[in-house]
Structure 1
């Protein structure tokens, strides 16, 4: 089995990704390797932030690793919150972040949005990138209690419920992260 460090301490993300890659790969979190540093995310694109995470882990620990950056892009808000999704309101409080999105959107009829994930993988002295996205709509109020982040206000196209109303298995089949991680897993299996 191949061991990879996933540059996160977000238990939800780790569970989602482990479920997608299956038992062939053993994922370790930052905590598992004793990394308690605040890894910089100063890029202006998802690609730059994902690469910063893997570059940091490679330089400090020398391990095979991957990092991701994900976010919500809302058409009517000029693709905000984008790379600032986790700290859109100036804090990492997702309730405040959701409130700000809903406030800025107001009654704008254009509710089009997409979730994007970019993964940077460092393996055998090479860097690889994988991307996934899913289009959808922002609803006017929170619905559902599952998931995390902006899941309670995002309904993927073709569905009538938010990510937060879906069972984890359903969301993991269609999410932006699932698409990117699926590409990562396919690459690793054929590497």
Structure 2
């Protein structure tokens, strides 16, 4: 028996991103869970003020669970670089946000990859290029109970970027045991070995085993 309360038949996915809803819905479909997004329910997006992936995932899950009075699932993920003391980490997306002097507003992931590479280059050619993607899945129930599952994909960074199949920092991340970047791998293979897959396997083991 799971130590966590049941999810029930309906789960709020604390996102306004249609792609993320589709991905998580497909993962949960075999377990008879019907997913609805926070966006579809017109729930407000809380400020992600946490200092860790877990903090931010819980902020989003708790807010959605309380607003909808249903169990809610949220995720937070990002890239950490060993030689940069774990940065960009929780600020992974922020590094892609253009400043006023860098062009039109929006996220520029090539610029973000360049920032990481520039900081590594400052440390010389022998710099440690190991890095990892983290994903935290947090579930919150309306009664205040919560559960957290963390996944990780280890690898190293290359330059210049390679591949067009991924997003974010995928073109510079080579997962352990592979020669291709995440952006060169077949999407099905990437999803099989990704940090999100690792976290999701732990969630399924805890809640549906």
Query: TM-score by structure 2 length?
Result: 0.82
Match of 2:151 in 1: 132
Question: Is 1:57 aligned with 2:75?
Answer: no
The one of 30, 38, 60 equivalent to 1:30 is: 38
Unpaired stretches in structure 2, ≥5 consecutive residues: 1-7, 99-106
Match of 1:2 in 2: 9
Q: Do the aligned partners of residues 161 and 16 (structure 1) sit closer, same or farther apart at CA in structure 2, a change above 3 Å counting? A: farther
Match of 2:114 in 1: 99
Deviations 1:127-177 (A, max 9, x none): 001000011001112111112211111110101111111122111111001
- Runs of 4+ in structure 1 deviating by more than 6 angstroms, as ranges, are none
Q: Shift of the alpha carbon at 1:50?
A: 0.7
Query: TM-score by structure 1 length?
Result: 0.89
Question: Is 1:13 aligned with 2:20?
Answer: yes
Q: Shift of the alpha carbon at 1:116?
A: 0.7
Match of 2:50, SS state, is: coil
Match of 1:49, SS state, is: helix
Match of 1:137, SS state, is: strand
Q: Do the aligned partners of residues 143 and 7 (structure 1) sit closer, same or farther apart at CA in structure 2, a change above 3 Å counting? A: same
Contact 2:77 2:134 in 1 (8 A): yes
The alignment yields a C-alpha RMSD, in angstroms, of 1.9
Match of 1:17, SS state, is: helix
Contact 2:12 2:37 in 1 (8 A): yes
Q: How does 1:37-52 map to 2 (within 5 A)?
A: 37-52=44-59
Unpaired stretches in structure 1, ≥5 consecutive residues: none
Number of residue pairs aligned between Structure 1 and Structure 2: 189
Greater share of strand residues, 1 or 2?
A: 1
Question: Is 1:114 aligned with 2:129?
Answer: no
